[in-house]
């Protein structure tokens, strides 16, 4: 092997390791900055604490964990059925030409910046909720609606791929024994694509948990555990973004510790999702 060949191979191997290196750096820096906080304040009073007021030295992140949980749950309730419905239509029922137009359109939704979603939420959804349902408008419901729309592209494209991966023979077999298309889809295609659809749901969940700017603009950001869907909430991501600009000392460490919590949640979701995707491929 000549030197040029060897050189190319070495360079490409090093380049191939970039993403692993970046991942390692991210984990190292976030955990290193957050770890001293856990040592000082204690994991229990951080995760379990219900009061967040950095001025008084109170760092309880439970309201934000609850906030992220409720908002994400709401987003899934809205986005998953809608996204799955879309994917089903595109993959099973839509005429080829219609699907060819609709699919890129839905992918465009993925390209719209999150601040634009937040802004629409702020100027359209929040006033609507305030006028029709009461409360401040900035709420779990507003966040769930915005996030529910934002996860649609992920939900649609991954479930679409899962549905397309079901062999055509399955559908033909059902039609041959006298089922109509809808029966074929619900009794054979959907169960066969189950794990891929589950992965789509989990990855959408990851997106919803991780979304920041759109949620800040519509959630109201109060550090309380919401009592109803019309109450304001603050998510883990918003907590970091809102206070990072001026935080110092222990307060800043607390925000990085929030980042650690977020990171662990997202990591767990991704590992679960990946195991589902892998099962499907095999």
Partner 1 sequence: MAPSSGTDGAYGPGALKRPKRSPGRFGMALVQGCAVLTVAVLVFIIGYVMVKGARVMTPGFLLGSPEKMGREGGIFPSIVGTVSLTLASVIIAAPLGIGTAVFLTEYTQEGLFSRIVRFGTESLAGIPSIIFGLFGFLFFVIRLGMGWSILSGSLTLAAMMLPTIVRTSEEALRSVPDVYKETAYALGASRWQTVASVVLPTAMPGIVTGVILAMGRAVGETAAVIFTAGSSLRLPKSIFDPVRTLPVHFYILAREGISIENAYGTAAVLLSAVLLVDFAAYYILHRISKKRPVARR
Residue 53: its H or E element: strand 52-53
Closest CA to 235 of 58, 47, 66, 18: 66
**Residue 50 Cβ, how far from partner 1 at the closest point, in Å?**
23
186 makes contact with partner 1 (CB under 8 A) = yes
Residue number with CB closer to partner 1 (2 or 168): 2
Q: Least distance from C-beta 250 to partner 1, angstroms?
A: 16
Pick out residues in 88-107 that bind partner 1 (CB under 8 A). Answer: 88-90, 92-94, 102, 104-107
Class of residue 39 by CB neighbours under 10 A (exposed 0-12, middle 13-18, buried 19+): exposed
Interactions with partner 1, residue window 7-66 (CB under 8 A):
8-9, 11-13, 15-23, 25-26, 29-30, 33
Cα 44 from Cα 184, distance rounded (Å):
51
Cβ atoms of 203 and 43 within 8 Å: the answer is no
In the region spanning residues 250 to 269, those forming contacts with partner 1, defined by CB under 8 A, are 255-256, 259, 262-263, 266-267, 269
Stretch that binds partner 1, among 52-60, 130-138, 161-169, 205-213 (CB under 8 A): 205-213
Structure tokens at 193: 């694509």
- Please identify which residue in the block is written with the tokens 């309730």: 77
Is residue 210 part of the contact set for partner 1 (CB under 8 A)?
Answer: yes
If one counts every other C-beta atom within 10 angstroms of the C-beta of residue 215, the result is 34
Contact call for residue 240 and partner 1 (CB under 8 A): yes
In angstroms, the first-to-last Cα distance of the chain is 37
- Position 213 contacts partner 1 (CB under 8 A): yes
**Of the residues 38, 69, 119, 170, which one makes contact with partner 1 according to CB under 8 A:** 119
The count of chain residues that interact with partner 1, using the rule CB under 8 A, is 87
Single residue of 141, 156, 166, 230 touching partner 1 by CB under 8 A: 156
Q: How far is the CB of 240 from partner 1 (least distance, A)?
A: 6
Do 184 and 171 contact (CB within 8 A), yes or no? yes
Greatest Cα pair distance, the chain, in angstroms, is: 74
57-60: which pairs have CB atoms within 8 A and are 24 or more residues apart?
57/250, 59/250, 59/251, 59/254, 59/257
Stretch that binds partner 1, among 42-50, 133-141, 159-167, 213-221 (CB under 8 A): 213-221
């Amino acid at each position: 092997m000549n030197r040029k060949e060897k050189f190319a191979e070495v360079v490409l191997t090093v380049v191939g390791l970039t993403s692993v290196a970046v991942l390692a750096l991210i984990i190292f820096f976030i955990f290193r900055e957050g770890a001293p906080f856990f040592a000082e304040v204690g994991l229990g009073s951080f995760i379990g604490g219900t009061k967040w007021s950095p001025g008084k030295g109170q760092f309880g992140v439970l309201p934000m964990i609850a906030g992220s949980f409720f908002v994400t749950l709401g987003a899934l309730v809205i986005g998953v059925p809608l996204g799955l419905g879309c994917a089903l239509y595109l993959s099973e029922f839509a005429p080829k030409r219609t699907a060819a137009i609709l699919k890129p359109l839905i992918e465009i939704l993925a390209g719209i910046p999150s601040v634009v979603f937040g802004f629409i939420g702020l100027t359209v959804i929040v006033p609507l909720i305030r006028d029709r349902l009461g409360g401040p408008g900035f709420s779990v419901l507003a966040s769930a609606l915005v996030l529910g729309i934002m996860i649609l592209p992920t939900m649609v494209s991954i479930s679409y791929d899962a549905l397309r991966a079901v062999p055509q023979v399955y559908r033909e077999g059902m039609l041959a024994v006298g089922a109509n298309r809808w029966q074929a889809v619900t009794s054979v295609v959907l169960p066969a694509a189950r794990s891929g659809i589950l992965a789509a749901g989990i990855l959408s969940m990851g997106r919803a948990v991780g979304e920041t700017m759109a949620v800040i603009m519509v959630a109201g950001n109060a550090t309380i555990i919401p009592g109803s869907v019309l109450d304001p909430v603050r998510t883990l991501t918003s907590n970091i973004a809102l206070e990072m600009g001026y935080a110092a000392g222990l307060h800043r460490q607390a925000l990085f510790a929030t980042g650690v919590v977020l990171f662990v949640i997202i990591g767990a979701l991704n590992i679960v999702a990946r195991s589902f995707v892998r099962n499907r491929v095999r």
